[in-house]
Amino acid sequence: MESRVAVIGGGNMGYALGCSLVHKVLNKPEDLLIVERKGNRAEYILNALKCNVEQKINSRVREFGIIVVAVKPQEAEEALHELKEYIFERHIVISIMAGVPISFISDKLGGHERIVRCMPNLPGQIGVGITVYFGRYGFSAEDYVAVERVLSSMGAVLRVAEEDLIDGATAISGTGPGYMFYIIDSMVSAAVDLGFSYREAESMIAEFIKGSVELWLQSDLKPDTLLKMVASEGGTTEAALVVFNKHHLDEIIRDGIKAAYERAKKLIG
């Protein structure tokens, strides 16, 4: 049963997970069920993935050993209420709902214990993301293998020892791509101001970001050490850093991440 997966919610992340599962993990499309309320969206998913598609949570979910809840946090209570009727003790429930604690999920599912809470991110849509997850209790080593088999279809997987770290992951890796796109957009605009075409700016910035990350990963050096290697005294990097430090950019970044963390803890409220 654990080789079959039901996904509740066919939005961007639910659909992306479904695509990854069909193409990388499951033996056949029939091993996947996606529940999507919107008729047009449900039809699109059916045509694209050739998997099982339902517009309402119903008894069919009982045929699937792992149930992934991928609805918006604001829709959590209604979805879990509907799901409660069809949950067995053996089911593994994986939540990718930001800010929704396991205690809330368990309560709405009538005390169900086999629950994993996780936070994927946008690059997971193309299989290069990272998903951070926490499982409360009631899991065997084989269960964790089954969970990671599902989550690794979207990229790297990190298991943490405390549930509160999932809110932290939401503010770092979950929201992080948004921070990067914000910075990239600002840099593209700056490059255009300097006379580059938009396409030239995108190409240049994409390549130096990829190269910088690859150098960091291969060198085993910390970012601050690599920064010192680039920022020679009296040079152009130092000139930019003087401006960044003048405006306390490091504090702004920390404050932004803290705000994201606090919001994550309040989403279900």
CATH of the domain at 257: 1.10.3730.10
Please say if the pLDDT value at position 121 is more than 90: yes
Whole-number average pLDDT of the chain: 95
Residue 156 shares a structural domain with residue 25: yes
Among the three residues 162, 197, 230, which one is the final residue of a domain in this structure? 162
Q: What is the pLDDT of residues 12-37, one digit of tens each?
A: 999 999 999 999 999 999 999 999 99
Q: What is the pLDDT of residues 198-245, one digit of tens each?
A: 999 999 999 999 999 999 999 989 999 999 999 999 999 999 999 999
Identify whether the C-beta of residue 61 lies closer than 8 Å to the C-beta of residue 86.
Answer: yes
- Quick one: three-class SS letters along 67-103? EEECCCHHHHHHHHHHHHCCCCCCCEEEECCCCCCHH
**Considering the domain boundaries, does residue 170 fall inside one?**
no
What local confidence, expressed as pLDDT, does residue 167 receive?
Answer: 94
What local confidence, expressed as pLDDT, does residue 11 receive?
Answer: 93
**Considering the domain boundaries, does residue 155 fall inside one?**
yes
Record the pTM.
0.91
Return the amino acid letter for 171.
A
Among the three residues 94, 128, 162, which one is the final residue of a domain in this structure? 162
Q: Is the dihedral of CA 206, 207, 209, 210 positive or negative?
A: positive
**Considering the domain boundaries, does residue 229 fall inside one?**
yes
Residue 143 shares a structural domain with residue 211: no
- Better-predicted residue by pLDDT, 156 or 138: 156
C-alpha angle 229/233/236, rounded to 5°? 85
Residue 123 shares a structural domain with residue 222: no
Structural domain of residue 27, as residue ranges?
5-162
Residue 250 shares a structural domain with residue 157: no
Q: What is the pLDDT of residues 141-192, one digit of tens each?
A: 999 999 999 999 999 999 999 999 999 999 999 999 999 999 999 999 999 9
Please say if the pLDDT value at position 197 is more than 60: yes
Q: Give residue 79's pLDDT band: very low, low, confident or very high (50, 70, 90).
A: very high
Residue 149 shares a structural domain with residue 226: no
Residue 122 shares a structural domain with residue 208: no
State the total domains in the chain.
2
Q: How far is CA 32 from CA 25, 39, 194, in A?
A: 10, 18, 50
Q: Give residue 269's pLDDT band: very low, low, confident or very high (50, 70, 90).
A: low
Among the three residues 162, 197, 214, which one is the final residue of a domain in this structure? 162
Please say if the pLDDT value at position 140 is more than 70: yes
Residue 119 belongs to domain with CATH number: 3.40.50.720
Q: Give residue 2's pLDDT band: very low, low, confident or very high (50, 70, 90).
A: low
Residue environment code for 243-254, b if the CB has 16+ CB neighbours within 10 A, otherwise e: eeeeeeeeeeee
What local confidence, expressed as pLDDT, does residue 267 receive?
Answer: 80
Residue 28 shares a structural domain with residue 115: yes
Identify whether the C-beta of residue 112 lies closer than 8 Å to the C-beta of residue 138.
Answer: no
Q: What is the pLDDT of residues 38-68, one digit of tens each?
A: 999 999 999 999 999 999 999 999 999 999 9
Residue 146 shares a structural domain with residue 189: no
What local confidence, expressed as pLDDT, does residue 136 receive?
Answer: 80
Please say if the pLDDT value at position 99 is more than 70: yes
**Considering the domain boundaries, does residue 42 fall inside one?**
yes
Nearest-angstrom CA–CA distance, 114 and 106: 9
Residue 28 shares a structural domain with residue 139: yes
Residue 205 shares a structural domain with residue 117: no
Residue 158 shares a structural domain with residue 232: no
Residue 146 shares a structural domain with residue 258: no
Location of structure tokens 């990097």: 237
